[in-house]
Structure 1
């Protein structure tokens, strides 16, 4: 993850896509703009999932077995879904770099915290 964050930082500098820091108003505007762009990318993940579910239902209605239909649908969105995840990751690393957060360290710390929670939803997936 550290290599990814470093690559992201250098890439964003090359493209002049880093969060602007000239003054508070410019920084605030840049952070909000990047947050909106991130949420747009998250919505595009939802759109790819919707495509897969719709395709699955179409195949099932045509008589295909459910598991096979879903496997075909998953395969059909895999490439675009990967691109959308990459877009999200680019924005997440941009925020992490701006706030000087080590994503790898934060990830493992958070997962350990979740594991130790008293009121876990045992057996439920997030």
Structure 2
């Protein structure tokens, strides 16, 4: 790829970005994890958005997989609720509080059943 090219090759750039950003951290994958965490915590969207200091409409877009979750908000979720960044961005269940794992697995299964 010519670094000095004035006309970007969008298709090529997209492939490069996709290779740098793991598929697990894509908005489509992060969204259901956030929804599952919120469900396990038994919080409304409004309560969760307010707690992590995120605009409510943005939370809706994040949960739908239409928008990525800013790392600062991921850190806020980790600090407040114990759902680690490896869970949020990589789907690693070992980064979820032990007492919440069974309930979270059921919540995630129910989300995939309705999708």
**TM-score, normalization: structure 2?**
0.29
Question: Which structure shows the bigger proportion of residues in helix conformation?
Answer: 1
Q: Using CA pairs below 8 Å that are at least 6 residues apart, which structure has the higher relative contact order?
A: 1
